Amino acid sequence: MKAKIQHHTQEYKIDLSKPLDISLPLSNTEQNPIAWYIEKPEIEPVRFGDWVGKVSVGSSSTNFNNIFFNPHGHGTHTECLGHITREFYSINQCLKQFFFTAEVVSVTPEAQGDDFVITKAQIEKALQGKVPEAIIIRTLPNSSDKTSKKYSNTNWPYLLEEAATFIRESAIQHLLIDLPSVDKEHDEGKLLAHKAFWNVKDVNQLNDDARLNCTITELIYVDDKIADGSYILNLQIASFENDASPSKPVIFEIY
């Protein structure tokens, strides 16, 4: 089903029947990606004595599961600046619009000592002067094991502070990446890219120009069949009053 979207002063044509899902599903299997030293998610039926909330067991007419998970470590998630501030801020309150212009870019992180990093120059080159509302970063190589990778203690690639600052200064509001974090895994709590993107100068007392309406989405997966270029992004979250929520970013080709 083709549709026209009026976004600000620009009209875009997209086909709603052809969504490109760039999220990772959450499951209680060994295929679930994991970061931050936790175990896989738990999805288990509720139990009251002999009653089990599972139709196949025979004691229930419905499937009635509890789910225990961590949004930051168990799959695709979207976070607001409340992730790093002393004061509480909720992703459900910060993200109030859900459709954005977006640019998919592919970047090969560069070796820097023992690390692999994404630089300002790489981001600037990849954008080619475009100023989308959202940037979707696919790191190369782009092997399918990203969908089930165990990231803990792997020293994954990360954004340099200069790259996050450039993204902020380009007025890009939403940053999506296929890594567990935009920052280095073991960084002594500096969180330089997070702070630079949200323009948070002091986590204990938020500055007036901090970017409350901007988000970071991590642990996405952009399949190779999706070409670099311009899209419309639908950034969907669950309505959690929390710093982060599991999310389902979906992009649409522009016709």
Cβ contacts of 235 within 8 Å, gap of 6 or more:
78, 95, 98, 99, 100, 134, 174, 215, 217, 247, 249
What pLDDT does 236 receive? 97
pTM equals 0.96
* Residue 193 and residue 230 in contact, taking contact as beta carbons nearer than 8 Å: no
What pLDDT does 234 receive? 98
Radius of gyration of the chain (CA): 19
CA distance 54 to 103: 43
* Secondary structure E strands in 91-140: 99-107, 110-112, 115-118, 134-139
Please state which of the four CATH numbers 3.50.30.50, 1.10.150.530, 3.20.20.10, 3.30.470.20 is assigned to the domain occupying 2-34+71-253.
3.50.30.50
What pLDDT does 32 receive? 98
For residues 140-146, average pLDDT: 96
Question: In one letter, which amino acid is 125?
Answer: K
Q: Is the pLDDT of residue 94 over 90?
A: yes
For residues 60-70, average pLDDT: 97
Question: In one letter, which amino acid is 220?
Answer: I
Q: Is the pLDDT of residue 1 over 90?
A: no
